[in-house]
Amino acid sequence: MNILVTGGGGFLGLYIVEQLVEAGETVRVLCRGEYTRLKELNVETVQGDIRDTATVKQACEGIDSVFHTAAVSGIWGPWDHFHSINTQGTLNILDACKTEGVTRLIYTSSPSVVYDGVAHENANEYLPYSDEYLCHYPHTKMLAEKAVLAANGENGLATVALRPHLIWGPRDNHLIPRLIKRAKSGRLRQVGQGMNLISMSYVENAAAAHLQAAARLFHDSPVGGQAYFINEPEPVLLWEWINQLLQAADLPPVQKHISVKAAKRIGGVLEFLFRVLHLPGEPPMTRFLASQLSSSHYYDISRARHDFGYHPIVNFEEAMRRMEPELKRLAAQ
């Protein structure tokens, strides 16, 4: 198989590339920068942006399967930025897949496409898309996911969308570094009572799910045109897990608290000020973030297990062990 991984230099994308190479596949990567690890893996690299149709078409030439992980995430920023990359970039990938004869597209989506601000407890894929989004990331990912699933069967292309929840692990350049930075500065506060359960996806397991889904994705397979939640089998208490991470980093546990009501009120005020005053960066709290940090959101993976045999390859204890050196490094910075 000739395989393209978009965003293959990124957090999840690089783990997918490593697992594909280990499996003996011929891999090409579409990414914006240069990455030492990709050179070490000796994979072909097309440097460019998924917003550029010519570059995307070039990257898809001669390709059988595409793993589309490239995206911009975050809780703040202009609509055009998120839409041009997450939605239009995905439409560019779809068009190139159809014109270049790609037969499989595995799309990295997000559970946030169905997040409606209320608790999700052992929720499954019957959840509808949300009617309202508190930030642009889930909205633009939803539009992209709908397009990917609707394209299943067109021009011989089989598609699937995976929704890994809260991806974490070594080389994370977003979630864990920000958590450690806030803890070190004393700005980390527990939102709510701290009893909310959440699903999470250790990055090697999230990557493995992509390969497992691809192996069952073909013309007329039950996987085609479907979306699947991907996470560890059992949820964890969010704030208990955060304290475990801090302990592994030799940092004290979270000691400051704020009510859900206060966090959402502060988030709304900060959103208004950042929007009206065009302040740089992003608000330290938003309504979306307050909701995510205080409510339960964990998902049933039965469908992924049944349809394509999803199974994590690294258990929680081993994942924490592998993460510990990076936690200590981040804390020492």
Q: What is the CATH number of the domain that holds 114?
A: 3.40.50.720
Residue ranges making up the domain that contains 147: 2-166+201-235+300-313
**Quick check: 1 pLDDT over 80?**
no
Instruction: Please give the distance of CA 178 from its chain centroid, rounded to a whole number.
Output: 16
Q: Is residue 15 part of a domain?
A: yes
Task: Please give the Cα distance from 23 to 17 (Å, whole number).
Answer: 10
Q: Is residue 280 part of a domain?
A: no
Q: Residue 150 has which token pair? A: 């609707």
Task: Please give the Cα distance from 328 to 184 (Å, whole number).
Answer: 12
**Quick check: 333 pLDDT over 90?**
no
Q: Which residues contact 117 (CB under 8 A, 6 or more apart)?
A: 130, 132, 134, 291, 295
Packed helices 53-60 and 89-100: angle between N→C axes, nearest 10 degrees: 40
The catalytic position among 137, 202, 228, 298 is: 137
Per-residue pLDDT, averaged over 27-44, amounts to 94
Task: Please give the Cα distance from 205 to 70 (Å, whole number).
Answer: 18
Per-residue pLDDT, averaged over 258-269, amounts to 95
The pLDDT value recorded for residue 223 is 97
pLDDT band per the 50, 70, 90 thresholds, residue 232: very high
pLDDT band per the 50, 70, 90 thresholds, residue 63: very high
The pLDDT value recorded for residue 269 is 96
Q: Is residue 331 part of a domain?
A: no
Q: Is residue 120 part of a domain?
A: yes
Domain count within the chain: 1
Q: Residue 262 has which token pair? A: 């206060």
The pLDDT value recorded for residue 117 is 85
**Quick check: 136 pLDDT over 80?**
yes
Q: Is residue 292 part of a domain?
A: no
Task: Please give the Cα distance from 40 to 51 (Å, whole number).
Answer: 27
Q: Which residues contact 211 (CB under 8 A, 6 or more apart)?
A: 16, 19, 20, 23
Q: Is residue 196 part of a domain?
A: no
Q: How many percent of the chain have pLDDT more than 90?
A: 93
DSSP structural state of residue 50:
T
pLDDT band per the 50, 70, 90 thresholds, residue 131: very high
Give φ, ψ of 252 to 5 degrees: -70, 155
Q: Is residue 253 part of a domain?
A: no
Q: Which residues contact 267 (CB under 8 A, 6 or more apart)?
A: 283, 285, 286, 287, 288, 289, 290
Handedness of CA 245, 300, 71, 118 (dihedral sign): negative
**Quick check: 219 pLDDT over 90?**
no
CB atoms within 10 A of CB 176: 19
The model's pLDDT over 89-128, given as tens digits with 9 standing for 90+, comes to 999 999 999 999 999 999 999 999 999 888 999 999 999 9
Average model confidence (pLDDT) across the chain? 95
For residue 137, indicate whether it is catalytic: yes
Model pTM score: 0.95
Instruction: Please give the distance of CA 195 from its chain centroid, rounded to a whole number.
Output: 24
The model's pLDDT over 275-316, given as tens digits with 9 standing for 90+, comes to 999 999 889 899 999 999 999 999 999 999 999 999 999 999
Q: Is residue 102 part of a domain?
A: yes
The pLDDT value recorded for residue 151 is 97
Are 54 and 47 a contacting pair, CB within 8 Å? no
Are 114 and 128 a contacting pair, CB within 8 Å? yes
The model's pLDDT over 137-175, given as tens digits with 9 standing for 90+, comes to 999 999 999 999 999 999 999 999 999 999 999 999 889
DSSP structural state of residue 143:
H
How far CA 307 is from CA of 145, 157, 200, 221, 303, in Å, comes to: 19, 19, 20, 9, 6
